[in-house]
C-alpha cells in the first residue's frame, strides 16, 4: 500500500502535515523569520496539547520542512479531545437538568 501525505494550509504562515493517520496531523509547520531576516520553516510534532509538541527542526523551504516529517508513525497519539462514554453521559445529565430548570423558571410545564 502506498503512502500519501497531505499539506493543509491553516493560514499564510502555518501548515498541518498529514501522514498515515487521517484523524490527526503528524506535524505543524510555521513560517518564521530568523535574525538575518530570512524566512525559515519550523517543524513541530503535533499533539493535541501544544505543550507536548516537540521541535523536529528548522528548514530553508516549506518542501524541505514537509520532507522532514517522518513516515510511518510508531503509534497513534492520544486524542484528548474525544469525550469518553462517561463524559457524554455526564453532559447529557447536565443538559437535562438545565432544561428542567429553564422550564421551571419560565413557568412552562415539563415535557416528560
Q: Give the pLDDT mean for 87-97.
A: 79
Query: What confidence tens digit (pLDDT) does each residue in 41-87 have?
Result: 999 999 888 999 999 999 999 999 999 998 776 665 555 555 667 77
- Region label for 41, one of left (φ > 0), alpha (ψ between -120 and 50) or beta (otherwise): beta
Longest dimension (CA), the chain: 70
Chain-centroid distance of CA 45 in Å reads 11
- Report the length, in residues, of the chain: 112
Please enumerate in sequence order all residues whose Cβ is within 8 A of that of 102, keeping only pairs 6 or more positions apart, or say none: none
Query: For the chain, give me the number of helices (H) and strands (E)?
Result: 2, 5
Given a cut of 50, is residue 7 above it in pLDDT? yes
- Predicted confidence at residue 70, as pLDDT, reads 80
8 and 18 in contact (C-beta within 8 Å)? yes
Query: What confidence tens digit (pLDDT) does each residue in 16-47 have?
Result: 999 887 788 999 999 999 999 999 999 999 98
Residue 4 — pLDDT band, cuts 50, 70, 90? low
41 and 70 in contact (C-beta within 8 Å)? no
Amino acid at each position: 500500500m502506498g503512502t500519501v501525505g497531505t499539506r493543509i494550509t491553516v493560514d499564510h504562515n502555518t501548515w498541518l502535515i498529514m501522514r498515515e493517520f487521517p484523524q490527526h496531523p503528524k506535524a505543524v509547520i510555521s513560517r518564521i523569520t530568523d535574525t538575518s531576516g530570512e524566512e525559515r520553516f519550523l517543524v513541530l510534532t503535533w499533539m493535541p496539547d501544544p505543550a507536548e509538541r516537540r521541535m523536529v527542526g528548522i528548514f530553508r523551504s516549506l518542501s524541505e520542512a514537509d520532507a522532514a516529517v517522518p513516515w510511518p508513525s510508531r503509534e497513534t497519539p492520544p486524542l484528548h479531545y474525544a469525550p469518553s462514554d462517561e463524559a457524554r453521559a455526564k453532559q447529557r445529565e447536565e443538559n437535562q437538568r438545565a432544561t428542567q430548570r429553564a422550564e421551571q423558571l419560565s413557568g412552562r410545564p415539563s415535557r416528560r
